[in-house]
Structure 1
Amino acid sequence: MSSPRQLPSGTLSRRFNGRFTRKLTVVCVTLALVTSLAVSQATTATAADSLTYLGDLTGSSDVAVGGGKVFVAVDDRIIVADTEGTLTGVITGVSETRDLVTSPDGTRLYAALRGSNEVAEINTTDLAITRRINLTAYPCPDRLALSGHWLWVSHGCPATSSGGALSLDMSLSTPQPAPVSINPVNAPQIVAAGNTLVLTEDKDLWVYDMQGGTVTLRGTIDAYDHGLWNGWGDIALAPDGSTAYTTPGSANDFEAWDLTTLTRTRSYGKEEGVLGYRSITVSPDGAQLAVSRDTDNVDDEPLVLFDVNTGAKAQMFGESLLWTHGLAFSDSDLFAVVEKTIDRSLHLLRLHGARLPSCKLVVTGPEKSQPRKTITFTGQLTEHDSSAPGVQQLTVALRRRDGTTTMLPDVTTNADGTYTFSHTPYLEDEWSYDVYRENTPNSRSCKASAIVNVSRF
């Protein structure tokens, strides 16, 4: 058996908790802000999942995807990454960035700037701020929604008890705010799709028909009428605007609402031990929902992907001690801005091929062995539909109790997916063997682990 090779510097093989396990490549990045844009990156993102450090930053965060880029709003800057999660730039000259939205063609990024009472329009190619729309008369812009060339903005400063919403015709050289006739106490949430505009604040959900920048109230839904005593949480719309998905503060489930009949049509995710669902986003084709959730068990998965039509969990993504701020799809990938609760540091999480069905891996070995005794492992790889994968390459990471990780030689499966490999541990320790297959065009990665306690007794 050839000797194991040490992992390249900067790479950690990490074990995810939960039913599904994933490989994370941690990409450490140092941001340097000088007179011009500058970002220094230590390593290059790979095709695997990545967790990219965003710097010693605080503040609310949002994430948006467009023009082949990923944008992360963090207080006085917008950090820019490519669609592999590699940081590429930073946009400055912004103050208290609250929300981001990209145009359908990906050429423009819009940012709500609470600190300067503006909406900024940014060219996604050169990252230049092309214009600023003054909203001094409607202070504290908070949330954004885009429908055609109409940009919808919610606003409201804390402790003023005076929120509202307005539209901006971005096809004009000087867009003029057109207020919506609504008087919420705080800045409402605002989403738009198809010909539907939805605003939520506290217990009230307002549904409007849109005709350009003009809206007509279709109806309202009172959260208290449906036993949602904590009011409305986050909200997302189906691409055609027919359905709203909400994560109210109540525990254990989130819900779908028919916006024609204004009735609840489905509850998702009813289960014990989940304190509440939080951020939510819909895939561009409307087929899947990505939802973050609070858990009271560090082994639970804080990110879950649901099938819209069946309500079934399509994927679960586990990582202890992560707090999710924002979610965005990019083709089959899912991006999230996450905060490590242990040190409050912010990261950009890329789940590569999140929308793809996962392959399945099994590995079997002895529970105990002795130093310098060769151990043989067997296992099988199958595709998500249980079909044989053909000849495939698998990687095997070897971890010790102190976190030391090395890589064993790659393993080649037989055509039916069966495989075998051997290793001779040389010390008394707990040895973990993580077998992994990378994404393919039609399947997300999968992983299996075996733990062997090596002792002379």
Structure 2
Amino acid sequence: MAAGPVNVRTSVPIILGEPMHLPSISRRLTVLCATLLLTAGLAVSQATTATAADSITDLNLGDVQGSGDTAAAGGKVFIAVEDRIVVASSQGVPTGAITGLAEPWGLASSADGTRLYAALRGSHELAEIDTATLAITRRIDLTAYPCPSRLERSADRLWVSYGCPTVWGGGVLSLDMSETTPQPVPLPISQTSGASVIAAAANTLLVAENSRLQVYDLQNGTPALRGVIDTDDLEIAHGWEDLAITADGTRVYATSGSINDFEAWDLTTLSLIRSYGREEGIYNYRAIAVSPDGTRVAASHGFGGEEEPVALFDTATGAKIETFAASLHDVLRGSFTFSGTDLFAVTEAWSDVRHSYLWRMHGALLPVCKLTLTGPAAARKYSTATFTGRLTEPDGSDPTVRQLAVSFREMGQVTTLPDVTTNADGTFTFTHVPYASGNLTYIVYRENTPDTRSCTASTRVSVRS
């Protein structure tokens, strides 16, 4: 697999009771400095990552369980939890909830984003919800197909994977949502224990069970078996963990349920394209999602305590190009959702009880600017220290004139300094007179623009009396 540059985006690991609002560049930098507590003592002279535009918001649900499945539709983000669907803005700010639901599990949206569909595992129903008014417009009885759990959409047809946990009798059915009264049409496959992992897009339906991935052609909603991918010979011992299919239905990214890498498969030839993870030395890949344009695939890894639990790969080269960090326990399977250039996920952390968080990786799909910062390794108290650096656009060009936020951190306390303006070629200079001795970390930061994700750089100075 081709190697590629890695940008470590240390997303703000501060657990917030309220969503983070950072209207000014200086306030964004102040929060970013707290993130750099994770890397105290490191002098950075090249682009690290900018993350103050990211947010991790406590959903304030208490000790509840749920799938954490998410969907983006109608300018909102929806999260399935124990007895409700939490509604958040496109900025990741919770705005309300759809209640009166019996264990919502899988979520999917209509092509135009006006409808949200929810599999209600507790009441054996499918609910259709108006994304503008949040009203439930239809309930479809699936009592004959208990515990509907996973949803996938292709055109007007919903594919529903059903089956109660550890109970034999699961399967897959379809519903034509363009009909006034959609009728369940079961897929003629062998029954399973619990609900199978499924994925659908364009003219392809995938049904995973154990080591077999069944690939179907969809002709006018009628599935015809194209072939089967059997992974027994690839040492995937525990079946399929999660699937992410490209919008054109030609490729799938799959994580296994064992300690292993994850793979990309060609759904036309049913052949393995590439594996990820073994070359990187990272295992336990679980949740996975592919960007709408198919150029990036996001995957989570690890089981608690991971500092960088999300990695973003270039699908063309296979290179891991970015990582995102958060001091949380785990990214829930099925919770990745791309919305515009943002990536959302639901994560969990435990203290005395379980807490669920909505993680917004702002501008995750945007190219990242680059910053460098250099300063003296040592300085004297009450003496002027001079710092220089350079801002470069993602394509390597000069940024013309840009404003950067500047601050320093001492003993965990962050102090904001006056902003600095770059020269036309991106170079900049600023000075500071430290009034205390010790180790000071200086940070420069440029916030997101419509076309570029933010970036930051830092350097440490030992100040002597």
For Structure 1 versus Structure 2, the TM-score category normalised by the shorter chain is 0.7 to 0.9
- The equivalent of 1:207 in structure 2 is 215
User: Is residue 351 of structure 1 aligned with residue 379 of structure 2?
Assistant: no
For residue 320 of structure 1, give the secondary structure of its aligned residue in structure 2: coil
Task: Flag the 1:273–1:295 CA change in 2: closer, same or farther, 3 A.
Answer: farther
List aligned pairs for 1:211-250, cutoff 5 A.
211-250=219-258
User: Is residue 360 of structure 1 aligned with residue 370 of structure 2?
Assistant: yes
For residue 283 of structure 2, give the secondary structure of its aligned residue in structure 1: strand
Q: Distance in 2 between matches of 1:273 and 1:265?
A: 19
Q: Distance in 2 between matches of 1:404 and 1:311?
A: 40
Asked whether the equivalents of residues 197 and 240 of structure 2 are also in contact (C-alpha less than 8 Å), the reply is: no
Q: Distance in 2 between matches of 1:167 and 1:431?
A: 61
Distance apart, 1:328 and its partner CA: 0.8
- The equivalent of 1:21 in structure 2 is 49
- Provide TM-score, normalisation by structure 1: 0.87
- The equivalent of 2:391 in structure 1 is 381
For residue 275 of structure 1, give the secondary structure of its aligned residue in structure 2: coil
Distance apart, 1:391 and its partner CA: 0.9
List aligned pairs for 1:177-196, cutoff 5 A.
177-182=184-189, 183-196=191-204
Task: Flag the 1:133–1:296 CA change in 2: closer, same or farther, 3 A.
Answer: closer
Asked whether the equivalents of residues 32 and 50 of structure 2 are also in contact (C-alpha less than 8 Å), the reply is: no
Asked whether the equivalents of residues 65 and 328 of structure 1 are also in contact (C-alpha less than 8 Å), the reply is: yes
List aligned pairs for 1:39-438, cutoff 5 A.
48-57=53-62, 58-59=64-65, 60-182=67-189, 183-251=191-259, 253-294=261-302, 298-299=306-307, 301-325=308-332, 326-340=335-349, 344-401=354-411, 403-438=412-447
Task: Flag the 1:120–1:397 CA change in 2: closer, same or farther, 3 A.
Answer: farther
Distance apart, 1:124 and its partner CA: 0.2
Asked whether the equivalents of residues 396 and 436 of structure 1 are also in contact (C-alpha less than 8 Å), the reply is: yes
Q: Distance in 2 between matches of 1:196 and 1:313?
A: 27
Asked whether the equivalents of residues 328 and 347 of structure 2 are also in contact (C-alpha less than 8 Å), the reply is: no
Q: Distance in 2 between matches of 1:354 and 1:411?
A: 26
Asked whether the equivalents of residues 107 and 123 of structure 1 are also in contact (C-alpha less than 8 Å), the reply is: yes
Amino acid at match of 2:206: V
* Two-structure CA RMSD over aligned residues (Å): 2.3
What whole-Å deviation, never above 9, does each CA across 1:110-149 have from its counterpart, x for those lacking one? 0111111111100000001111111111111110001111
- Provide TM-score, normalisation by structure 2: 0.86
Q: Distance in 1 between matches of 2:296 and 2:269?
A: 22
Q: Distance in 2 between matches of 1:137 and 1:407?
A: 62
Task: Flag the 1:341–1:223 CA change in 2: closer, same or farther, 3 A.
Answer: farther
Q: Distance in 2 between matches of 1:375 and 1:230?
A: 58
Q: Distance in 1 between matches of 2:382 and 2:316?
A: 53
Asked whether the equivalents of residues 251 and 274 of structure 1 are also in contact (C-alpha less than 8 Å), the reply is: no
For residue 14 of structure 1, give the secondary structure of its aligned residue in structure 2: helix
Task: Flag the 1:389–1:252 CA change in 2: closer, same or farther, 3 A.
Answer: farther
Q: Distance in 2 between matches of 1:184 and 1:323?
A: 27
Contiguous gaps of at least 5 residues in structure 2: 1-24, 40-46
For residue 192 of structure 2, give the secondary structure of its aligned residue in structure 1: coil
Amino acid at match of 1:21: T
Q: Distance in 2 between matches of 1:181 and 1:252?
A: 31
Q: Distance in 2 between matches of 1:272 and 1:251?
A: 14
Q: Distance in 2 between matches of 1:432 and 1:322?
A: 28
Asked whether the equivalents of residues 205 and 222 of structure 1 are also in contact (C-alpha less than 8 Å), the reply is: yes
Task: Flag the 1:94–1:430 CA change in 2: closer, same or farther, 3 A.
Answer: farther
Asked whether the equivalents of residues 215 and 267 of structure 2 are also in contact (C-alpha less than 8 Å), the reply is: yes
Q: Distance in 2 between matches of 1:391 and 1:398?
A: 23
Distance apart, 1:453 and its partner CA: 3.2
Amino acid at match of 1:395: A
For residue 232 of structure 2, give the secondary structure of its aligned residue in structure 1: helix
Q: Distance in 2 between matches of 1:108 and 1:215?
A: 24
For CA contacts below 8 A with separation 6 or more, give which structure has more relative contact order.
2
Q: Distance in 2 between matches of 1:297 and 1:98?
A: 26
Q: Distance in 2 between matches of 1:295 and 1:365?
A: 39
Corresponding residue pairs, total: 426
Distance apart, 1:377 and its partner CA: 1.4
Asked whether the equivalents of residues 273 and 296 of structure 1 are also in contact (C-alpha less than 8 Å), the reply is: no
Asked whether the equivalents of residues 78 and 91 of structure 1 are also in contact (C-alpha less than 8 Å), the reply is: yes
Q: Distance in 2 between matches of 1:426 and 1:161?
A: 71
For residue 162 of structure 1, give the secondary structure of its aligned residue in structure 2: strand
Task: Flag the 1:176–1:295 CA change in 2: closer, same or farther, 3 A.
Answer: closer
What whole-Å deviation, never above 9, does each CA across 1:230-252 have from its counterpart, x for those lacking one? 32221011111111110113446
For residue 34 of structure 2, give the secondary structure of its aligned residue in structure 1: coil
Task: Flag the 1:361–1:274 CA change in 2: closer, same or farther, 3 A.
Answer: same
What whole-Å deviation, never above 9, does each CA across 1:300-340 have from its counterpart, x for those lacking one? x2111111111122322222334212111111111111223
For residue 15 of structure 1, give the secondary structure of its aligned residue in structure 2: helix
For residue 458 of structure 2, give the secondary structure of its aligned residue in structure 1: strand
Identity of aligned residues (%): 54
Q: Distance in 2 between matches of 1:368 and 1:342?
A: 40
Asked whether the equivalents of residues 259 and 283 of structure 2 are also in contact (C-alpha less than 8 Å), the reply is: yes
Which is further off, 185-194 or 223-232?
223-232
Q: Distance in 2 between matches of 1:162 and 1:14?
A: 51
Contiguous gaps of at least 5 residues in structure 1: 25-47
Q: Distance in 1 between matches of 2:304 and 2:177?
A: 44
For residue 313 of structure 2, give the secondary structure of its aligned residue in structure 1: strand
Q: Distance in 2 between matches of 1:117 and 1:83?
A: 30
